[in-house]
């Protein structure tokens, strides 16, 4: 038996279940409530924005012959699916563009696994927005706590925490939405833990986004089973041959419950402003700053000084397709300067192939300097008329030091939603970022449906 260090706290699954059952929205600290609202709104916007992605189309195609009842909405589309299936599709959509939230200490993307579970059950049961947001808060917190206890060794071993910890978090949110008691919710967490899976070999493929989608769907299923009398062992997370011992060579399960309920990891959930690898975000910030001073036509050359890790990840110098461009530092700079943003539109095949982007990318040189911080960038621009421009970004937008403001996050959400919903997008953004005020989710799911379609 390979096992981790002995567990000092023997009832972690139980404590997490009690926390999930007993949390009350009005007792959450305001920063935690705000983080839950932002996590929900950001996830909703991504679901709508990615609702035409081929991964979403593949799943809907597969489900098409299965005689699905209309219980829960696929956001951004006319389809409504069974309450276990809608979370699968919405979870894939929320994550597939790598544009969602990130809890940096664990590298969990909690929104994609947790929000779809709470959303589907909330819609199905006519729950209030406050109940849904509280379930999101609880589910995210459980996912992050489980992640903290498993990682970094768990990640280093090759596990995708959004799939593993996400399974437990989604089960917590779903159990909360069904109003389970502590025993039943403990079983739901056990079912989540025993299904915790997701290999990082899947990174860069559709399967990466399948992990949170499946976590969300399995979480709903786990809560339904627990509600109907399915039973489990009580210590599936912390026990002998439980999740911590089996899936992490150096777990610290006590971190899962340390100050649980008083300190909220949820508050550290961060949001990506740009739809590409996080290490190039400072480059995009620098480009956006420089576009005030020079147009692309005026620029003769660009020198970006970054930490060597940036080129490891973002080293595609002349990308041929949209997905490649997400890993291209020159393209990131080019769209930042040309378009003033770096959303989904900036990483389409068409945008990557456009003449202006190609021309500007060709003028970018990258200089590596280990003295520059990993999340920082320095840009030097020389113009044709001999000016030398300079931008220095020590911390990128969306970093812990410089979180996205509410206005920035809503602008990101609007840009995601508008191509799908057109004029109706304003309504959806207003509803999604203040969802705790809603009597039920009907107005929100209706607003997320494209004009001319009906559920």
> Could you list the residues that contact its own copies (CB under 8 A)?
1-3, 54-55, 57-59, 61-63, 66-69, 71, 82-84, 153, 156-159, 163, 190-191, 193-207, 210-211, 214, 221, 224-225, 227-233, 235-236, 239-243, 245-246, 249
Residue with smaller CB distance to its own copies, 193 or 310: 193
Residue with smaller CB distance to its own copies, 1 or 350: 1
Q: Would the CA dihedral through 393, 396, 400, 405 be positive or negative? A: positive
To its own copies, the closest distance from the beta carbon of 334 in angstroms equals 28
Give 391's strand partners. 379
Residue with smaller CB distance to its own copies, 50 or 425: 50
Residue with smaller CB distance to its own copies, 121 or 337: 121
Find the length of the chain: 455
- For 212, residues 6+ apart whose C-beta sits below 8 A from its C-beta are 91, 92, 94, 95, 109, 112, 113, 116, 162, 163, 166
Residue with smaller CB distance to its own copies, 107 or 202: 202
Residue with smaller CB distance to its own copies, 195 or 445: 195
To its own copies, the closest distance from the beta carbon of 201 in angstroms equals 4
Residue with smaller CB distance to its own copies, 235 or 328: 235
d(CA 318, CA 448): 36
To its own copies, the closest distance from the beta carbon of 407 in angstroms equals 37
Secondary structure of the chain in HEC code, one letter for each residue? CCCCCCCCCCCHHHHHHHHHHHCCHHHCCHHHHHHHHHHHHHHHHHHHHCCCCHHHHHHHHHHHHHCCCCCEECCCCCCEECCCHHHHHHHHHHHCCCCCEEECCCCECHHHHHHHHHHHHHHHHCCCHHHHHHHHHHHHHHHHHHHHHHCCHHHHHCECHHHHHHHHHHHHHHHHHCCCCHHHHHHHHHHHHHCCCCEHHHCCCHHHHHHHHHHHHHHHHHHHHHHCCCCCCCCCCCCCCCHHHHHCCCCCHHHHCCCECCECHHHHEEECCCCCCHHHHHHHHHHHHHCCCCCHHHEEEEEEEECHHHHHHHECCCCCCHHHHCCEHHHHHHHHHHHCCCCHHHHCHHHHHCHHHHHHHHCEEEEECCCCCCCCEEEEEEECCCCEEEEEECCCCCECCECCCHHHHHHHHHHHHHHHHHHHHHHHHHHHCCHHHCCCCHHHHHHCCCCCCCC
Residue with smaller CB distance to its own copies, 195 or 380: 195
Residue with smaller CB distance to its own copies, 52 or 241: 241
Residue with smaller CB distance to its own copies, 61 or 181: 61
To its own copies, the closest distance from the beta carbon of 25 in angstroms equals 26
To its own copies, the closest distance from the beta carbon of 312 in angstroms equals 15
To its own copies, the closest distance from the beta carbon of 291 in angstroms equals 36
To its own copies, the closest distance from the beta carbon of 416 in angstroms equals 23
To its own copies, the closest distance from the beta carbon of 45 in angstroms equals 24
260, two tokens: 């649980």
**Taking each helix axis from N to C terminus, what angle separates 85-95 and 206-227, rounded to the nearest 10 degrees?**
150
Residue with smaller CB distance to its own copies, 207 or 216: 207
Do 20 and 142 meet the contact criterion of CB atoms below 8 Å apart?
yes
To its own copies, the closest distance from the beta carbon of 49 in angstroms equals 20
To its own copies, the closest distance from the beta carbon of 8 in angstroms equals 18
94, two tokens: 């929320």
To its own copies, the closest distance from the beta carbon of 155 in angstroms equals 10
Residue with smaller CB distance to its own copies, 20 or 86: 86
To its own copies, the closest distance from the beta carbon of 90 in angstroms equals 16
């Amino acid at each position: 038996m390979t096992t981790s260090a002995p567990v000092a706290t023997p009832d972690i699954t139980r404590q997490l279940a009690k926390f999930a059952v007993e949390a009350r929205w009005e007792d959450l600290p305001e920063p935690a409530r705000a983080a839950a609202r932002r996590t929900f709104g950001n996830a909703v916007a991504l679901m709508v924005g990615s609702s035409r992605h081929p991964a979403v189309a593949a799943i809907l195609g597969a489900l098409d012959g299965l005689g699905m009842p209309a219980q829960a909405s696929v956001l951004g589309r006319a389809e409504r699916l069974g309450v276990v299936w809608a979370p699968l599709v919405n979870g894939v959509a929320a994550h597939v563009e790598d544009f969602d939230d990130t809890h940096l200490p664990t590298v969990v993307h909690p929104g994609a696994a947790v929000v779809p579970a709470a959303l589907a059950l909330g819609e199905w049961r006519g729950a209030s927005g406050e109940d849904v947001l509280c379930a999101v808060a609880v589910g995210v917190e459980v996912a992050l706590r489980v992640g903290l206890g498993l990682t970094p060794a768990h990640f280093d071993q090759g596990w995708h925490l959004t799939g593993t910890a996400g399974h437990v978090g989604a089960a917590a949110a779903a159990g909360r939405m069904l109003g389970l008691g502590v025993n039943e919710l403990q079983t739901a967490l056990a079912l989540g833990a025993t299904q915790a899976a997701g290999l990082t070999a899947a990174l860069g493929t559709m399967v990466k986004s399948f992990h949170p989608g499946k976590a969300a769907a399995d979480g709903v299923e786990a809560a339904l089973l627990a509600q109907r009398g399915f039973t489990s062992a009580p210590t599936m997370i912390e026990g002998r041959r439980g999740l911590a011992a089996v899936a992490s060579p150096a777990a610290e399960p006590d971190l899962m419950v340390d100050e649980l309920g008083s300190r909220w990891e949820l508050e550290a959930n961060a949001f990506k402003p740009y739809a590409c690898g996080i290490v190039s975000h400072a480059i995009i910030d620098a480009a956006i700053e420089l576009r005030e001073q020079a147009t692309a036509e005026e620029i003769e050359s660009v020198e970006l000084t970054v930490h060597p890790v940036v080129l490891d990840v973002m080293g595609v110098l002349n990308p041929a397709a949209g997905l490649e461009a997400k890993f291209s530092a020159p393209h990131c700079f080019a769209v930042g300067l040309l378009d003033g943003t770096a959303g989904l539109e900036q990483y389409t095949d068409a945008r990557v192939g456009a003449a202006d982007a190609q021309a500007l990318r060709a003028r970018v040189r990258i200089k590596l300097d280990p003295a520059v911080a990993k999340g920082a960038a320095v840009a030097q621009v020389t113009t044709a008329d001999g000016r030398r421009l300079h931008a220095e970004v020590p911390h990128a937008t969306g970093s812990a030091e410089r979180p996205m403001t509410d206005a920035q996050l809503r602008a990101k959400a609007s840009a995601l939603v508008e191509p799908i919903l057109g004029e109706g997008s304003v309504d959806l953004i207003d509803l999604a970022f203040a969802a705790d005020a809603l009597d039920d989710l009907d107005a929100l799911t209706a607003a997320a449906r494209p004009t001319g379609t009906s559920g």
